[in-house]
Structure 1
């Protein structure tokens, strides 16, 4: 179980093949002076194919963290659900002379700064085993870890940290794996960050929540026949409707009886025999008995 994706840079075409993919990461910037000339086309192509998309920055860690982060962030009109990644590695000439301590500090500062700028997006980190085991000192990777290995099976990167993505092959193009069960699960996870920011719910959001609640089921007395919330609520509503109808009828009949009794009391008073008070007392006793019977009837309709 799990889903598959790729990561693209200028080495890949503007519209790579998306067959069988659920997500794609695209290189956007490097250092303070490089922008992937194909990144916009690659992003748009991924999104039009229904993929979850993320953009990443390759650092020159001798530079200002904030300057590089702002350079990267400024290239993109970030949308809810977009993933944001630091490609934390440094095998090029720009990074080879940067101490491990500085590289570790760069990682920490970049992730925290970018998260402050984009609190409603998942902000994470890519690292290979060497960087993760030998240069990292804190285990901090932001919202998610994308780990790269060489020669290890897909989905088995060999680390104890709670990784989300695994780059398991770089033959021709970098191949990635996510342990979530489906594209829908990954999309829901990425969007959960924007929902945590109290964004207004759309009508489709409300409809989806209502449908989920209505169709939710719980085990009932018979394990083979779970109780669906919607069915139970519908049954209860029907019972309440019957109860309300019975009560309305009883009230109407009581009002009619009260009027008849008043007229009867007045007539008896004029004709002699029982007084009006005696007739009324007898009528009230009869009404109490009738209400008691009505209570028994309503109890019989309770769930």
Structure 2
């Protein structure tokens, strides 16, 4: 298993010692860009980590959100891309159809890049009706490091958010993850 973290603007700094990958929030909706995106990306790349970017999906305007995300997220061969599908601050969520269309749109806009679905166990088991996760599932299920309580195959497991979001990836080596990602 590989070790990584996922970060957003809330993390003013993070330690890269012992990390194999870093997933960075790039965008949300059609107007938000992580103000620390550039610095966080540079820090992860300098540490030699596999780097990924994610978009927090809001209901509606899926094509516009996909174009916005792809326009703002750095584009280097081997970078992972993901959609963060969960309840918004307004208590709503994008539909299954929106989630699936967003993944397909990003795959069309960035051919050659792996696109993952991030969601928590509750969403996967109680809201997902299509089981479509693009190129892989990134599942949040706390307290079960490397053993999420789902039946579906997964690529990345977020197992805690204390003191920050920590993840493991189901790859034998960083090189294997890079190869899978298309680097």
Alpha carbons 2:70, 2:110 under 8 Å: kept: no
1:12-40 deviation per Cα after TM superposition (whole angstroms, max 9, x unaligned): 12x42101100000001111111110011
Higher Cα Rg, which structure: 1
3-state DSSP of counterpart to 1:4: strand
Q: Which residue of 2 aligns with 1:7?
A: 6
Q: Which residue of 2 aligns with 1:23?
A: 21
Alpha carbons 1:59, 1:90 under 8 Å: kept: no
How is 1:98-109 mapped onto 2 (pairs within 5 angstroms)? Answer: 103-109=95-101
Q: Which residue of 1 aligns with 2:80?
A: 83
Q: State how many pairs are aligned.
A: 183
Structure 2 Cα separation of the partners of residues 77 and 17 of structure 1: 21
Structure ranking higher in helix proportion: 1
Shift of residue 76, structure 1, vs aligned partner = 2.8
Q: Which residue of 1 aligns with 2:142?
A: 150
RMSD: 1.3
How is 1:164-175 mapped onto 2 (pairs within 5 angstroms)? Answer: 164-175=155-166
Q: Which residue of 1 aligns with 2:57?
A: 59
Runs of 5+ consecutive residues of structure 1 not aligned to the other structure: 193-303
Of 96, 115, 121, the residue aligned with 1:123 is: 115
Q: Which residue of 1 aligns with 2:152?
A: 161
How is 1:210-221 mapped onto 2 (pairs within 5 angstroms)? Answer: none
Structure 1 Cα separation of the partners of residues 103 and 179 of structure 2: 22
Structure ranking higher in strand proportion: 2
TM-score of the pair, normalised by structure 2: 0.95
Alpha carbons 1:46, 1:53 under 8 Å: kept: yes
1:74 aligns with 2:66: no
Runs of 5+ consecutive residues of structure 2 not aligned to the other structure: none
Structure 1 Cα separation of the partners of residues 48 and 78 of structure 2: 12
Alpha carbons 2:26, 2:69 under 8 Å: kept: yes
Alpha carbons 2:120, 2:141 under 8 Å: kept: yes
3-state DSSP of counterpart to 1:168: strand
Shift of residue 91, structure 1, vs aligned partner = 3.7
Q: Which residue of 1 aligns with 2:40?
A: 42
Indicate how the Cα distance of structure 1 residues 77 and 154 shifts in structure 2: closer, same or farther if over 3 A, else same. closer
